[in-house]
Amino acid sequence: MKHTRPIFDEEPAIKITRCGNSSICSQRNGKIMPASENNQNNSNQTGGNANGPNSADHSVDTNLYSRQIYALGESAMTHLRKASVLISGIGSVGLEIAKNVILGGVRHVTLHDQKLLTFGDLSACFYANESMVGENRAKISFTKLAELNDTVTCILHTEALNEEFVKQFDLVIVTDSPWEEQIKINNWMRKHGKLFISADARGLFSYAFVDLGEKFAVHDVDGETYNEVLLEHVNCETGEIFTLDKAYHGLEDGDHIVFEDFEIAELNKLTPTPVKTTAKGHIVNVGKALSSFSSVIDGPISRGRARKVKMPKFIEFKSLADALKLPEFMIWDFAKFDGSEHLHRLWQALYKFEKKHKRSPKPRSKKDAELFKAELEGTGTAEIPEQLLLNFSYQATGNLQPVASVIGGFVAQEAFKAVTHHTTPLKQFLYTDSCEALPGDYSSFDAGKLTEKDCEPRQTRYDGQAAVFGWSFQAALSKQNWFIVGAGAIGCELFKNMAMMGLAAGNGGLLKVTDPDTIEVSNLNRQFLFRRPDVGKKKSEVAARSMKQFNPAVNVQALSDIVSEATESVFNDDFFNQLNGVCNALDNVEARRYVDRRCVYYQLPLLESGTMGAKGNTQVVFPHLTESYGSTSDPPESETPVCTLKNFPYQIQHTIQWARSKFADHFTSVAETANQYLDDVNGFLGRLQQMTVSQKIELLRALNKALIDECPSSAEDCVKWARDLFDSLYRNEIMQLLHNFPPDQVTSQGQKFWSGTKRCPHPLNFDVDNPEHLEFVYSAAFLRAQLYNIEPISDPIKVAHLARAIISPEFKPREGIKIAITDAEAAANDEAGPEGDDSEKLLDTLNMNLARLKIDNIRRLTPIDFEKDDDTNHHIDFITAASNLRAENYTIEKADRMKTKQIAGKIIPALATTTSVVAGLVCIELYKIF
């Protein structure tokens, strides 16, 4: 993805039970039982009924959470599935936090609030409407929140909090609450060794605070995946180790490494060793760690690698009471370097004002601003800019969905860090200020000219937004026409934000959304508008319907056309000329570039964004003011040489890529080629004449195999083919390679041929009792049968019985076979032709065989397109088995199914928290466009 930067600057990282009169909770003997206390039976309660998962079920649905697991890791996901979290205050920020925490799969989530819904809440409470004003905020949202994830136990509590109640949770998150209440709860949590986070938002301002105790262990400080470094030379006396081909090691002083894949087993068992970098980027020093091995290893090595490992880091946090006096800040905007200290004082003054006056300062009230200024006494000495003070006072009743989305996503991510010990948490205050979104004197909505009357509440759902921008601005928002391209994770968050903003909610306004995709199970973890019953439905249609539920006044039109050159008759001049702007919510660069070109042509603003795990980016493209998206590009990704994949793999990525290629060769390309021939023989042969001799032979051989030599007539034939394929890939080809390049082969320079990145392989003999061997044959036979429209054998026992009966012929290596060592050598071999002087004779034979076919009697094949998210189709099963058997050939560490799926499917890690933050930032930028 393009221009990805961390959103989290500190290095990243349903059971519905009712009981009692005023609370809904899971109880045993009157006590809440979170997962950490191993509550075995949440359905046995006082006066309650239950539905949903067993509370002791900490299992992880890898289909549902796959993208999150790729971002956080399986260990972190397991911690989430055991955690219990209390969220107090289900206003705008609390609601966002709850949404993200529940989507993230935290095992037990208790929602608490005693406040009643007001009109001011409605601008950022997406599960509420005007008819609910006066009801408890947590009760209003509880059912909808509980529906977000049926693997999470959600509990409602509306009584006052006390120490006995809160101490049972692993983490308490407090929002929309004064310092006194926060300090009290924080002290309770510290007393019992538990974790605490708080947050709030007013207008364009927000903050978060984190206290994880006196000594919090972070097991993975940055959440990054490190590649191993191949080594070629070791100097045990000096402690210097040299990377292969002078590759950059990417290590820093103090990093720890372990040694792997050395021929000396004891070296591979060393504990993590600290390194010291040198002036040269391919050399690091490990001190005396290798001194005891000088007699057995010193100098050039045939194989070995170093891998950076994560070492735990311990962080000390202050209590909230102490942190208020001696705060530590994470800076949100480096253009406002002193901003955190200013905002620290302003938030203290606000809570003092509200305690004294039992209300917040009124929008644009100069009188209240003076009263507010008086509350700054005793909060610090930093001089606060007058305009910042006024903006803060004027926006104290403001409630903006985009700001809640940003801080709510951020805090939910901090919650994940807290309960998983994964990635470095916030230490300790974050203050945000997005006042650049206020219109200036260049705009007809100049915020500097707003009066109290312009922003006074009118008891509508937009009171909280009008308090910041005024009612004229709100009216203009309602008349906007925008086009949202994509209804995936970012799209869902954008729809929620835009609905609450009232974008296109008036006469003449219209939001158009398009997405050709249908909803899959893996979407549900972060695309919160969708539920399990929606799986298989069009994303755009379900998203539009959900948007109307958030705000019935929004005018939205759902489309399902892809935006490309092929659909310019749909997305034509009339379409674009009606728009005020475009929002991209796409998942690939080419589509982004195309939409960008259209926006440049029609001179429309474009709001661009993307995410990858805990990282994200936003970009504003504004006509005649900024560069376009296509003006810059990321450097191209490095590609693995074909010869490395074909004969000399040394990483599991290589074997997975090879297995993915074999899937395409055997189950997709061959069927497409055969169907092209069957549909139009003359046309096919005409295109064949344009190819080189080598290409003709390769293509005709594949056709002969598919339609004649290896064409199955039964499912048993498919098992036989799969069993033969095993021998061909994992025994015969390896034995031929070793025949050409024996294990003791040396180069013309006298060096070992099998060294460095070339790992000497060994052949595999089929063993039906080996689960991996049988899995390969089973899945390959299953797919082969589908390819030829034959009912597959679904019983693994029967497949094993058939495979056991197959006798493999002895392999005899062929002489004169050329095996290229480099891609350049392979290209030269292809140019020369694989069969030398016999090429034309071979071509004639292959053509004659095909000419004898009675095409009318042959059924078309069914090409199998790779689909990574269907566990019943055996696609990932085949690729995992094929890759790991290849890894076994070359003594490469194998990968589990999850990792194989991610690499083969090119899956981008994703988190609902990051999506929430990015979508919020996009909509804050949307404010600025007016």
- Chain centroid offset of residue 227 CA: 19
Cβ neighbors of 8 (< 8 A, separation 6 or more) are: 410, 413, 423, 614
CA atoms within 13 A on the CB side of 617: 14
Cα Rg for the chain, rounded, in angstroms? 32
Is 154 annotated as catalytic?
no
**Start-to-end CA span in the chain (Å):** 29
Interatomic CA distance for residues 356 and 371, integer angstroms: 10
865, burial (CB in 10 Å: exposed 0-12, middle 13-18, buried 19+): exposed
> What residue has token string 């910041």?
468
- CB neighbour burial string for 731-766, b if at least 16 within 10 angstroms, e if fewer: bbbbbbbbebbeeeeeeeeeebebbbbbbbbebbeb
Helix axes 771-787, 875-889, angle to 10 degrees: 130
Q: How many CB atoms lie within 10 A of CB 646?
A: 17
What angle do helix axes 796-804 and 771-787 make, rounded to 10 degrees?
100
**Residue 196 per-residue DSSP state:** E
Question: Distance (Å, rounded) from C-alpha 569 to C-alpha 103?
Answer: 39
Both structure tokens of 536: 């298989």
Backbone torsions φ then ψ of 195, nearest 5 degrees: -110, 155
Rounded-to-10 torsion of CA 854, 859, 860, 862: -150
The percent helix, strand, coil of the chain (3-state, each to 5) is 45, 15, 45
**How far apart, in whole angstroms, are the C-alpha atoms of residue 353 and residue 393?**
10
- Whole-angstrom distance, CA of residue 189 vs CA of residue 84: 13
At 583 the three-state DSSP class reads strand
Q: DSSP labels for 389-422?
A: HHHHHHTTT---HHHHHHHHHHHHHHHHHHHH-B
Phi, psi dihedrals of residue 207, rounded to the nearest 5°:
-150, 165
Helices 693-704 and 670-679 sit at what angle, rounded to 10 degrees?
90
211 three-class SS:
strand
What's the rounded Cα separation, in Å, for the pair 786 and 769? 25
Q: Give the integer Cα–Cα distance in Å for 519 and 529.
A: 10
Name residues whose C-beta falls within 8 Å of residue 556's C-beta, 6 or more positions apart in sequence.
495, 504, 510, 511, 512, 513, 544, 547, 548
Residue reference for tokens 């936090």: 97
Residue 111 per-residue DSSP state:
E
State the catalytic residue, choosing from 25, 125, 583, 643.
643
CA-CA distance, 244 to 233, in Å (whole number)?
A: 8
SS3 883: helix
577-603 b/e (C-beta count within 10 Å ≥ 16 → b): eebbbbbbbbbeeebbebbbebbbeee
Listed residue (882, 870, 876, 875) closest to 899, CA to CA: 876
Enumerate the active-site residues: 643
